Amino acid sequence: MSMPSAALELLRTWILRAAPPDGAVWFDGALPRMRKETGAARARLVSLAGRRLGRAPLDLGARDLADAAGIRPGWQPAGLGIDQAALIALMIAGYTGADAAFAEELDRLCRTADAGEIVACYRGLPVFPAAEHLIDRAREGARSSIEAVFEAVALRNPYPAERFDTPAWNQLVLKAVFIGSPLDFVDGLDARANGDLAMTLIDYARERRAAGRAVSDDVWRCVRPFVDERDIARLLQTSNQVQA
């Protein structure tokens, strides 16, 4: 069984466990319909998830989260609503093997979806098929001015660390620092550390210090692999370049 298929089965188990009886019947019928329907009919099925299932959080325990990590290392579904989990499941169920078509369908959904649905789209990135075709969509989410959307990409999500090139990765981390997102939840932060990012963060810290504003300790986590501790104070006062 492929990873997306295994994720779909796990999502289905959680949703049927949490959904009201009539919603569970609807959802179990909607899954096979996603493969049979096309275009607007598929979009309508996805849009009905919240109405049919409600928007309560999934009740996931430690075993559920361990099962998720066993299927897809780094997948962290905690906090998903039933409707959001259903959206992810329905999109996987509708995959026909055409990667470009899946990416296009996800793009269309993100252009018309409400905020909760958009968050679900980005939280589905770790388990969606056609992963290599979703990079542009993920980068679009990382540019979002809506904090919840940005954090759906940036936090508790292994996809950016695995797929983003260095400039896109560095921009994501810098934005997380700038808006105060906790870097502890950025997957792959230490593995993707690089000298360009370190220098950018030193420049950021210099500007903050010059404005009399505090600098988060998270910043230095990304700088210290490339700059000796005793040199940080000097670099805050200069424009010397850090080499990777």
The answer to whether residues 60 and 77 touch, using CB atoms and an 8 Å cutoff, is yes
Q: For residue 155, is it within any domain?
A: no
Structure tokens at 194: 């690089």
Residue 35 within any structural domain of the chain: yes
User: Cα(107)–Cα(118) distance, rounded to whole angstroms?
Assistant: 10
CB atoms within 10 A of CB 110: 17
Within-domain flag for 96: yes
Mean local confidence (pLDDT), 16-23: 95
Name the DSSP letter for residue 186.
S
Binned at pLDDT 50, 70 and 90, residue 218 comes out as confident
In a domain, 154, yes or no: no
Please report whether residue 101 resides in a domain: yes
Q: What is the pLDDT of residue 21?
A: 95
Domain count for the chain = 1
Indicate yes or no: pTM above 0.95.
no
Q: Classify residue 56 by its DSSP letter.
A: P
Tell me, yes or no, whether 22 lies in a domain. Answer: yes
Residue 104's pLDDT is what? 97
For residue 121, the enclosing domain spans 1-133
- Is residue 13 in a domain? yes
Q: According to the model, what pLDDT value does residue 212 have?
A: 83
Q: Is the pLDDT of residue 235 over 70?
A: no
Please tell me the distance from the alpha carbon of residue 244 to that of residue 232, in angstroms, as a whole number: 15
